[in-house]
Amino acid sequence: MFLRCLAHREVSILADTHHKVVVDAALEKHESTKGSLLPILHEIQDALGYIPSDAIDVIGKRINRSRAEVHGVVSFYHHFRTHKPGRHIIQVCRSEACQALGANDVIDKLKRTLGIEFHESTSDGQITLEPIYCLGHCACAPALMVNGEPRAKMKSERVDSLINELRATNYDD
């Protein structure tokens, strides 16, 4: 009981109230299960879009892992982000089939048009560009994920209309 109270107090070191709620809920849900770290991280990223750095300490203390261990898992998997993403996330497949069918042209055009590299967001915080590795849509290469939705047979010529489409949705709500 005492330990449990201490554990709950650790969550309070998270500066952001919403983060506290999300991290605590993920810990409550998964901490007692074997191999809890990945489900906890997925739960947090699904809710927040990334893993806040102060959450790493809290998670480690709650599940008896060192900060280095938790950080090691977060940085090992490309899926996990350590910074808040933009409102829209474009993920471009960099695996073989997509590269063979022109993914690099699409990537170059996206980087030039957005003025960012992979793992960066546009200066207005609206669009984040990320690499991804085989979406299982190799027959529809080059493949993208846009806000979690697959896009098939992308061409560099269609990058402008994709970005316009995303920017147009910024003011819908």
**Site for ligand FES (CB under 6 A): which residue of 135, 144, 154, 162?**
135
Give the number of other Cβ atoms within 10 Å of residue 172's Cβ: 5
Residue 134 lies near ligand FES (rule: CB under 6 A): yes
Residue closer to ligand FES (CB basis): 13 or 100? 100
Residue closer to ligand FES (CB basis): 93 or 110? 93
Residue closer to ligand FES (CB basis): 96 or 124? 96
Q: Which of residues 78-97 bind ligand FES (CB under 6 A)?
A: 93, 95-97
Residue closer to ligand FES (CB basis): 139 or 168? 139
Residue 145 lies near ligand FES (rule: CB under 6 A): no
Residue 137 lies near ligand FES (rule: CB under 6 A): yes
Q: Least distance (Å) from ligand FES to the CB of residue 92? A: 9
User: Which positions touch ligand FES (CB under 6 A)?
Assistant: 93, 95-98, 134-138, 141, 143
